[in-house]
Structure 1
Amino acid sequence: MHGMPGVAPRQRWFSAGLLAVYVLLLLGGLGWSLKERAIPDLFKVQLRQFSDNPVLLNSLLGALPALISMLAGPLIGAWSDRTRSALGRHIPFLLACAPLIALSLVGLAYSHTLGVLLWQLSGAVPDEQNYFVLACMCVCWTSYSLFTIIGNALFIGLINDLVPHAIIGRFFGVLRIVSLAVGVLFFYYYFGNELTEVAQSIVLTIAALYLLCFLLVCYGIVRLRARGVVHEAARQALDAAGVAQGGADGWTYTLLFLSIAMGAICVLPANINSYHAIGQFAVDFRAYGRATAAGYSVSILLAWPIGWLADRYHPVRIGFAAMLVYACCMLAAWWLVTGPTSYLIWLFVHVVVAGVFLTGTASLLPLTLPRQQFSSLAALSAALTALLTVFFSILLGYLLGRNGHDYRLVFLAAGLVALAGAGCWYRLLRALRRR
């Protein structure tokens, strides 16, 4: 495992080849952000019209993607690492995933129409129409989850191949700014009580823009590779990073993967169950969207400084501090949230602190895993995260059902998991210091 990042010659960070690569990767980040920021929330709005079952909600948005990641991630990651082609090792997979993701989104946009059509063809009784719609939604969401998990992992692998590690924290900071800006626009301008009326058109627009962005990214990288620019950019990225291709002992990798898993699952309760929570606390959809947009706006201001701190002091230190603060905040929210105003305040805190954690640790795996085995080892990390997510999501859904759908429980669950996660991050920090 690599230690703290060294200081690289500045001129290598901003050569003409690397600048062209940065622009293309940020274009891919724009398409990725449109999908990641809006689609889960649009799906939750759509799902809520047909089911308020917390077990189904947590299974579809938590356990299902985790199972897919656990089963498909390591296989695709190893396959990608071993691939040698004229298009590189990641581009062929990204070219395959992009249209499949777009097609899944089109199916999701028309799932109600498809469900009603299947219900009419089946001759089922009227009371069963919603089951057909739900079935179509689940099939399209499963397809979307499968290809988006694979595509996201490969996109991170492409970034890892081409961005110098000496500035990769700041690059992820800029990528987060793009992502958060998309989130601000969506939650501020489109997220309101009339969202169900425009959800279909938004999903179709995102499908088209995502496909266009990634086709342009793949075309641009291939063209730069044909001109020798990408090869030179990759060489400069390796030189600037000053990275040895060494490994680490099994215990350090276990701590690394467990720490990342705890950080990923601690934010799930508040994210997945937000729409049910705003119903309990009588929060207006428009107010929820404005509070989320405000949190993203603050995160935009923090993204570059946090990325710089990660480059300067290492992501593990940022992760430990942010996880500890997040645990304290969520436990306080469990005690203090009683109505719409208090819920919106602590939602804002959740968005900001979780954003600091995600920005500060985004470069951790690229910094610590060997480049040639990055996709394989990152997939193993995702598999452990997936295993814990499956268990945690189903357990949380069951507990919410048992306690009468009191969604203050999500803050308690997030705080306890984050507290345990802070312990993992502290142990990881000590292990890295010893190395």
Structure 2
Amino acid sequence: MLIGDLGWSLRERSVQELFKMHLLSFSQDATLLNILIGAMPALIALSLGPLIGAWSDRTRTRYGRRIPFLFGTALVTAGGMLGMAFSSSLVALAISWTVFEMATIVGNPLFIALINDTVPRHILGRFFGLFRIVSLATGAGFFALFFRNDLVTVFQPLLGAITGVYLVCMLLVCWRVREPTYDAPVARAPWRFSQPGDAQWGRLFAAIAMAAVAVLPININALNACAQFGADAGDFGGAIALTYAISILLAWPLGWLADRYHPLRVGAVVLTLYALCMLGAWRLVEGRTGFLLALIVHGVLSGCFLTGTVSLLPALLPRARFSQLAAISASLTALLVVISTVGLGALLDATGRDYRLLYLAGALSAGCAVLLWRSLLKRYL
């Protein structure tokens, strides 16, 4: 599973930033960027996520209920990455990115579902902590070694190499991981993706969605914001590498805290810190140093939130319907992402791309998420 995590994380940490760099050679439009990175993937998740999640939960094969889907999505993902590597026009790049996103959006929750099916619940937090260490180390290595101002010149061979590593690692997971024996799925009407009583998870899914939206403004637009603050691609890569290095040191303790005190408590604390820090950044950041410092703070705190809460849904949702319910949660997140990213892109273009607004957007979204998160503490704990 951890070898699979190596390939999975290399793809997660690198491909989106490589795509952004390549996209800059065709367009710097903020609305287009936010649609391609935010809204379009969210729409895919909204339409495909629940369907594939329910299908996987109810599938029974000699290879398991997750492996067949992971195998297929790994092949399509690799095809999309190769398409991006050899794209010579904006249309070809956008189509390849769409294929890539379709496969990763379907495959990501299934990979987490495979972990949920195979790892004992009492160590899920620590396993995900170790999972995050591998992921962060992979990202730190990528940004420290490859993310430089001349990245465009090595874009094609670099993305090709990442594709090869990813595909080998994921195929190894499909070959060597053995899923447990599952009970027969409960009989129900076909093509029904929710059941009576699912509304009880609504507040939980809303809180997760708002927290996810809070970090998107900077996650999507930080690379494009560099020029406004006097930073370049090398500065960006160094800051992200440092962010990941710090996060590696925090990953295992945060996993332990999640097991010991519950992911809800960890998430509430980190979201509060994030809202306060982004509000401060909105008022204080002016030049290169402040921008890079705020980028590191953003990366560390958003990473802490992800590490501390990644075991939340596995801890609360029933295993028999985990993938389906997780897909419903992702669909609600997707709906909010579509609205927020399109709106943010339009706002940035309307204000002459004043990227200081990213901090305000993150602070306001995180503040709303804190209110929802605190209500969950009363309900579940």
Q: Scaled by the length of structure 2, what TM-score is found?
A: 0.95
8 Å CA contact retained: 1:252, 1:431: no
Partner of 1:280: 228
In 2, Cα distance between the equivalents of 1:304 and 1:252?
Answer: 31
Partner of 2:373: 425
Secondary structure of 2:2's counterpart equals: helix
Change (3 A) 1:184 1:248: farther
1:205-244 superposed matches below 5 A: 205-221=161-177, 225=178, 230-231=179-180
Change (3 A) 1:81 1:343: same
- Paired AA for residue 148 in structure 2: G
Q: Return the match for 1:94 from 57, 66, 70.
A: 70
8 Å CA contact retained: 2:39, 2:337: yes
Q: Return the match for 1:398 from 343, 346, 356.
A: 346
Partner of 1:68: 44
The alpha carbon displacement at 1:249 in A equals: 5.7
Partner of 1:129: none
Partner of 2:151: 195
In 1, Cα distance between the equivalents of 2:9 and 2:104?
Answer: 12
1:22-41 superposed matches below 5 A: 25-41=1-17
The alpha carbon displacement at 1:231 in A equals: 3.5
In 2, Cα distance between the equivalents of 1:231 and 1:142?
Answer: 33
> Does residue 253 of structure 2 align to residue 297 of structure 1?
no
Partner of 1:137: 93
Change (3 A) 1:162 1:267: same
The alpha carbon displacement at 1:253 in A equals: 0.8
In 1, Cα distance between the equivalents of 2:354 and 2:224?
Answer: 9
Indicate the structure (1 or 2) with the bigger Cα radius of gyration.
Answer: 1
Gaps of 5+ in 1: 1-24, 113-132, 236-246
In 2, Cα distance between the equivalents of 1:102 and 1:377?
Answer: 27
Partner of 1:82: 58
Partner of 1:388: 336
In 2, Cα distance between the equivalents of 1:189 and 1:35?
Answer: 15
Secondary structure of 1:111's counterpart equals: coil
8 Å CA contact retained: 1:331, 1:411: yes
1:41-52 superposed matches below 5 A: 41-52=17-28
Q: Deviations over 1:86-110 (max 9, x none)?
A: 0110011011111111011000100
- The total of aligned residue pairs comes to 370
- Paired AA for residue 61 in structure 2: S
Partner of 1:260: 208
Q: Deviations over 1:66-94 (max 9, x none)?
A: 00000000000000001011011001101
> Does residue 161 of structure 2 align to residue 161 of structure 1?
no
> Does residue 289 of structure 2 align to residue 341 of structure 1?
yes
- Paired AA for residue 159 in structure 1: I
In 2, Cα distance between the equivalents of 1:313 and 1:171?
Answer: 16
8 Å CA contact retained: 1:167, 1:311: yes
Q: Deviations over 1:316-349 (max 9, x none)?
A: 0001110010000111111111000100111110
* Identity, % of aligned positions: 51
The alpha carbon displacement at 1:285 in A equals: 1.6
Q: Deviations over 1:275-325 (max 9, x none)?
A: 221011110221211111111111000000000000000000001110010
Aligned structure 1 segments of 4 or more residues deviating by more than 4 angstroms = 247-252
8 Å CA contact retained: 2:42, 2:337: yes
Q: Deviations over 1:170-213 (max 9, x none)?
A: 10000100110011111111111011111111111111111111
Partner of 2:219: 271
In 2, Cα distance between the equivalents of 1:249 and 1:321?
Answer: 29
The alpha carbon displacement at 1:274 in A equals: 1.0
In 1, Cα distance between the equivalents of 2:206 and 2:161?
Answer: 37
8 Å CA contact retained: 1:62, 1:389: yes
RMSD over aligned CA atoms reads 1.5
In 2, Cα distance between the equivalents of 1:334 and 1:306?
Answer: 27
8 Å CA contact retained: 1:323, 1:357: yes
In 2, Cα distance between the equivalents of 1:172 and 1:88?
Answer: 22
Partner of 1:151: 107
In 2, Cα distance between the equivalents of 1:273 and 1:346?
Answer: 13
In 2, Cα distance between the equivalents of 1:101 and 1:249?
Answer: 35
The alpha carbon displacement at 1:252 in A equals: 4.3
8 Å CA contact retained: 2:285, 2:291: yes
8 Å CA contact retained: 1:252, 1:428: no
8 Å CA contact retained: 2:22, 2:152: yes
The alpha carbon displacement at 1:394 in A equals: 0.1
In 1, Cα distance between the equivalents of 2:28 and 2:223?
Answer: 10
In 1, Cα distance between the equivalents of 2:138 and 2:211?
Answer: 23
1:319-358 superposed matches below 5 A: 319-358=267-306
In 2, Cα distance between the equivalents of 1:87 and 1:136?
Answer: 35
Gaps of 5+ in 2: 184-194
The alpha carbon displacement at 1:251 in A equals: 5.5
